[in-house]
Structure 1
């Protein structure tokens, strides 16, 4: 089966090194584990399983990192997608502390993989969070102080409005904070790096190979069928996130894909240093978040705006550029070299859907825009569980998960209504 869709027209794909040929599956084969999807979750599960001596095959409908893993904004956040006070309110402090520890381990896993395997993905330290409403400033200041009193020093620095303006080259925000333990990277280069590590450990990756069915085998094990072959295995990992394409209705009921869009300017030269002199990534406090960073060539990579229908805007450049110019009007004369979009899967409560749905049948999805670290770590936890240690996996798998209401036909209109309300609230 040929690769039917190339990478998105992103700055990452345009400047990526040529990847090795990874032929499609064309026979019936066996493996200890079959992974469906070559994004961060699947690649991490594969490399950690292969390191434990398991034989692993990955089937990927398109290319390594074709989905959100290869086209996202590149920001690696600390913590879970929900803030710590919310987690404490929902689950109590002991469980909230466990979840924070796992999130810390997730970021550490990303950094360790990059360092240990020399993955060339332009890692840079630091993320800045900008507050778009004045009324957020004092509660945020108190929250950060309380957070470090309860959980210890975490390299968080509150920034008053003038200091924030100097740090991000715009005065449209009212304050914020810098997280020195977070960071950003080139997401497609990171995905390709994980793939090379997995392959070096023995994993076989089949690109251009769409899984069309997964069935339990009487007596134990699973069979994953594709257009031109099958993989018989002891365990299967569904790591397709927002690109399930009907493969598993149970997973699909818990995660919903939405479209996000971003652009990359032309290299800015000396102007780049006037925007983010410290080189951090930046994200703001909107529900429909704006996020941006400078890459190694001094381009501004900016994400802003979402779509909840099934078709992209007619002009992606104009759609995203309008958001960028509200923050950086001084860039009105700058050329746009690349603009693209992609799908990110969200859950009802914005916490990841990590489950063993049946014996030997695992999934992790729905990272809700917070996926680089958590997805990498979820793959590691699945590998641990398959290898017999479910301790950390069970913590993530215990998080509550509601199905989206309305069934398959009404999920989209329900989402549009909800997200439109939250988008309006951003502007009030």
Structure 2
């Protein structure tokens, strides 16, 4: 177990990561990266590979936030499907966005392969139809992605077959994405950190940033030191807090929750998910789950929009889990935890510049493993003066939340609760 992380199955099974000291004193570097989640780590390793000196500041520990606590699903595409993107941006831009999405998955898999990151990468994700009306668009999706994008890794699963693959009667069918995968999210983050450190990156943990000056060079302030840098990459996502109001108005932090059962044994595990794929459903507040290598059910379900987690996370998540798998009623819950992610109004990520030499990306809206990793790569390109792909994303302006950071919660919470209520209707 790696210390200094919230208790979770991932922390309990993480590869060793030694503590790194906080920043004390003044440092000069080419690039200062703020935040050691997927975005910051990906930016750091891609910048280090380009020959930049990189200093990374993390308020807690590497992968402490959503990057080390999520459902572990490496999805394909963007948070919005391609047909929606075509309607919103036109076919040319939709195809550019698909090219980026394909690169996002390839980048994750490439980092894992190139640096031999031991993170249990396993192929296959099923999107399961919660309602009968989902079937028509799923069939159309398979045809559309094959015809318009040449993507042949997506297949429709009829109801009779999905009941053989997943041990529940809740679903009306589904989509199997053979290009998607699942993995141990914290070990993936720690693996990138090790590789980046081996290339010269300097990491300071337990070093919250208090201020970033829009100067050239920029200066990043902490409680006990400063970093003077030619460029700054802000990669805080749902843990931005009050650091930068210009970014905060574009995102809203929300909390998701996961449980891990006791080991269930090989026979029970295969009865729940026959082919060891990950699963997510089509509800607004989705259920997402998969099996661990030691045959635990890792089930994510439920979210809240508060600064606090539920008092009893195990009971909170067990309710949706038992709706899908009542046969787990007697299974012991060994771990229960939550994490904070950032969503945008449009559910597309927010890329931008705070100054010519200060860039950021945030708001991955639940599509973080692939999109945050890609974001770090695009941020490194922008720093290096090759900003074409970064600009593709930054031109997609996300709307700010009504009422700004102070009043965004009441309206959004009411709307999200309304959509969540629809999940319960036939």
When normalised by structure 1's length, the TM-score is 0.97
- Residue aligning to 1:403: 400
Deviation at 1:216, TM superposition (A): 2.5
1:203 aligns with 2:206: no
- Residue aligning to 1:276: 273
- Checking the alignment, whether the CA contact within 8 Å between 1:272 and 1:299 is kept in structure 2 is yes
Deviations, residues 212-258 of structure 1 (Å, cap 9, x unaligned):
010123xx210000010000001001100011121000110001100
- Residue aligning to 2:91: 93
Larger CA deviation: 382-391 vs 66-75: 382-391
Larger CA deviation: 270-279 vs 35-44: 270-279
- Residue aligning to 2:249: 253
1:69 aligns with 2:64: no
Secondary structure of the 1:134 match is coil
1:333 aligns with 2:330: yes
- Residue aligning to 2:282: 285
Ranges in structure 1 where 5+ consecutive residues have no aligned partner: none
Alpha-carbon RMSD across the aligned residues, in angstroms, is 1.0
Partners of 2:367 and 2:76 in 1: CA distance: 9
- Residue aligning to 1:144: 142
Partners of 1:395 and 1:409 in 2: CA distance: 30
1:225 aligned to which of 221, 231, 235: 221
Partners of 2:10 and 2:202 in 1: CA distance: 24
Deviation at 1:290, TM superposition (A): 0.4
Question: Which runs of structure 1 show a deviation greater than 4 angstroms over 4 or more consecutive aligned residues?
Answer: none
Equivalent residues in 2 for 1:13-162 (5 A)?
13-162=11-160
Deviations, residues 60-105 of structure 1 (Å, cap 9, x unaligned):
0100000000000000100000011100000011100110110000
- Checking the alignment, whether the CA contact within 8 Å between 2:86 and 2:93 is kept in structure 1 is yes
1:392 aligns with 2:417: no
Deviation at 1:340, TM superposition (A): 0.3
Partners of 1:12 and 1:106 in 2: CA distance: 23
- Residue aligning to 1:305: 302
Partners of 1:346 and 1:407 in 2: CA distance: 14
Partners of 1:113 and 1:291 in 2: CA distance: 24
Secondary structure of the 1:413 match is helix
Deviation at 1:109, TM superposition (A): 0.2
Partners of 1:414 and 1:352 in 2: CA distance: 21
- Checking the alignment, whether the CA contact within 8 Å between 1:154 and 1:181 is kept in structure 2 is no
When normalised by structure 2's length, the TM-score is 0.98
- Checking the alignment, whether the CA contact within 8 Å between 1:126 and 1:178 is kept in structure 2 is yes
Partners of 1:352 and 1:267 in 2: CA distance: 36
- Checking the alignment, whether the CA contact within 8 Å between 2:214 and 2:358 is kept in structure 1 is no
1:358 aligned to which of 348, 355, 360: 355
Larger CA deviation: 10-19 vs 184-193: 10-19
Partners of 2:14 and 2:140 in 1: CA distance: 43
Partners of 2:122 and 2:241 in 1: CA distance: 35
Larger CA deviation: 307-316 vs 40-49: 307-316
Partners of 1:242 and 1:233 in 2: CA distance: 24
Secondary structure of the 1:154 match is coil
Partners of 1:134 and 1:331 in 2: CA distance: 25
Secondary structure of the 2:116 match is coil
Deviation at 1:407, TM superposition (A): 2.1
Deviations, residues 167-221 of structure 1 (Å, cap 9, x unaligned):
111111000010000000000000000100110110001000000010123xx21
